[in-house]
Amino acid sequence: MLKLYIGNKNYSSWSMRPWVLLQQAGIPFEEIVVRFDSFDEGSDFRKQISTVSPVGKVPVLDDDGFKVWDTLAIAEYLAERFPEKNLWPQGVQARARARSVCAEMHSGFAALRGACPMNIEADLRDIGQLLWRDKPAVRADVARLVGMWRELLAGHEGAMLFGDFCIADAFFAPVCMRLKSYALPVPEDIAAYIGRLSALPGVKAWIDGALAENDFREFEEPYRLKPD
């Protein structure tokens, strides 16, 4: 069976992508959580994950001893390993567009990532209002997401970005969590897509797992104090 090494579900946006992809596609796997304590060289997290990843980060996919790291590489590996699951869209141009937007998500949206770290259990709407007022780069990143998603959703009758659920939806799941936690303003049609994605069994299972953790990590919490 495949093994997927992940971090805390509440915080680990990179881990969420392949986990949701595997879960939603119905591909069996064993989940191995490597708990965040810090990302310093001597941390327990780094000591544990460095035994399976040369870069010392999550996620890592282990297929009978063959390790794959980086979310794009994991997604491509799973698409080739399980072609019957149609993890990429079927058309040549649709696949190219899906790969393009995944690569953009993978390397872009730095302002939104930096200002709004993923924190599924938190209600950070007050912080979101301040960020929206004071951070034009955050507003620009959200505007790009809105424009991209509208264009993709308009090209078909399906509920997801390319009709049926695919790798692209898994890649944007963490940013949907950010938009929800910080209550950043988006149009109704985009909010509806976020709602549909969040309701998918694979995404809901991740959210439920994040809410059940109750594992406050202070170094991941720029906006909250540790509960009493």
CATH number at residue 170: 1.20.1050.10
Does one domain contain both 34 and 130? no
Rounded CA separation 57/39 (Å): 9
Does one domain contain both 149 and 74? no
Please tell me the predicted confidence (pLDDT) of residue 227: 80
> Strand 60-63's sheet: what is its strand order?
29-33, 2-6, 60-63, 66-69
Please tell me the predicted confidence (pLDDT) of residue 97: 98
Does one domain contain both 98 and 188? yes
- In terms of DSSP H, where are the helices of 154-221? 167-181, 188-199, 201-213
In a domain, 215, yes or no: no
pLDDT of residue 155 exceeding 90 = no
Please tell me the predicted confidence (pLDDT) of residue 199: 98
Tell me the β-bridge partners of 2.
29
In a domain, 223, yes or no: no
pLDDT of residue 228 exceeding 90 = no
Q: What is the tally of structural domains in the chain?
A: 2
Please tell me the predicted confidence (pLDDT) of residue 10: 98
In a domain, 12, yes or no: yes
Does one domain contain both 56 and 99? no
pLDDT of residue 24 exceeding 80 = yes
Does one domain contain both 77 and 154? no
Q: Work out the pLDDT band at 223, boundaries 50, 70, 90.
A: very high
Q: Work out the pLDDT band at 117, boundaries 50, 70, 90.
A: very high
What phi and psi values does residue 3 have, to the nearest 5 degrees?
-120, 140
Q: Work out the pLDDT band at 34, boundaries 50, 70, 90.
A: very high
Question: By residue range, what is the domain housing residue 9?
Answer: 2-85
- For the segment 152-164, the average pLDDT, to the nearest whole number, is 95
In a domain, 200, yes or no: yes
Extended strands (E) in the chain = 2-6, 29-33, 60-63, 66-69
In a domain, 194, yes or no: yes
Does one domain contain both 77 and 96? no
In a domain, 22, yes or no: yes
